[in-house]
Amino acid sequence: MKRSIGLDIGSKSIKLVELEREKERIYLTKAIYKELEERDLLAVLKEIFIEHEIDVEKIPFTLACASKNLFFKSMEILPLKKEPLERLINYEAQQ
């Protein structure tokens, strides 16, 4: 079975769905809605992933965010330790 996650990050809430494909059928296996309520976005995401046992390193994600202040850059990198990865991300964000 192939699994994938759809994640919609809004200004006031986070919506997450998990889909599983079995042969020619796709099943909705999780649907989660969380209000941000002035909480830190990363803390809420971590709470969702832990509470619903979602392994973010093994499941493909599709992400939706709506804001005029956002930008995305896709890049492929080799596995790095935390500090070099943070430096690389900061460098790429400034480009």
For 45-86, the pLDDT digits (tens) are 888 989 998 887 788 877 777 766 666 666 676 677 777 777
State the SS3 of 23-73.
Answer: CCEEEEEEEEEEECCCCCHHHHHHHHHHHCCCCCCCCCEEEEECCCCCCCC
For 5-14, the pLDDT digits (tens) are 888 888 888 8
pLDDT at 3 (0 to 100) = 86
pLDDT at 88 (0 to 100) = 75
Is residue 17 pLDDT above 90, yes or no?
yes
Q: Which residues contact 21 (CB under 8 A, 6 or more apart)?
A: 1, 2, 3, 4, 27
28 band by pLDDT with thresholds 50, 70 and 90:
very high
